[in-house]
A and B are shown apart, each in its own frame.
Chain A
């Protein structure tokens, strides 16, 4: 259904993620403030502070870049994750039918078996590709 497609970004405004956003903004602001503080110390004659004057802004940039990448990665997998969830309920197709159950002719049986096997391979492929999607954030 189309309604379930639109709010993919919704997870970003869940309380947990809002808290993370706040923490990130606060820590980046904190790093910039520390950099500014070190700049003042450096200008006051503390030689070592020059290193930290550049280091803190670098950490702040890292924070922003890493955060952006984390969010971008969260967007990517749902395409494979959603069918994967459905496929988990499907291994019945992968389990070979009992040897006795052969109502059709041999050809139909092979086709069904092949289709089931292909579905199984596709499911494995999807699971491997999307592996860990739900191991990550919970």
Chain B
């Protein structure tokens, strides 16, 4: 679980940053018409997105996210800036409670007071 969370967060940030770089280059293409860099970064983002999917899907299952939330997480890797937003929300709403509960784990129940 913890490793999965770390991998997800790393991939969310890496994919998000690459996607912003890709967008910046694509916008820059209007003036420079330098297609090679856009193509290269686009391909890298494509590969990273595959890794992002492989990493984030198991996490959505572990957190038992609903189908819409799962789709939001998976598609976040293709929408600029969205990975950061989704990662922040998922972390606060699902990951941290789940980890806290896991740490508490099979904690000893309060003894009945006779």
A residues lining the B interface (CB < 8 Å):
20, 47-48, 51-52, 55, 58-59, 62, 66, 69-70, 73, 94-96, 99, 109, 113, 116-117, 120-121, 124-125, 128, 131-133, 135-138
Contacts and interface: CB of A to CB of B under 8 A. Distances in A.
B50 A128 contact: no
Interface string B81-114: 0000000000000000010010001100101111
A66 B106 contact: no
B33 interface: no
A52 B112 contact: no
Interface of A is mostly: helix
A96 B53 contact: no
B70 interface: yes
Contacts of A131: 64, 101
Contacts of A73: 61, 64
Contacts of A55: 46, 50
A128 B114 contact: no
B65 interface: yes
Given A96-B114, A136-B64, 15 more contacts: A62-B57, A66-B74, A70-B61, A73-B64, A95-B112, A113-B112, A116-B112, A117-B111, A125-B106, A128-B105, A131-B64, A132-B63, A136-B65, A136-B66, A138-B66
A128 B64 CA distance: 13
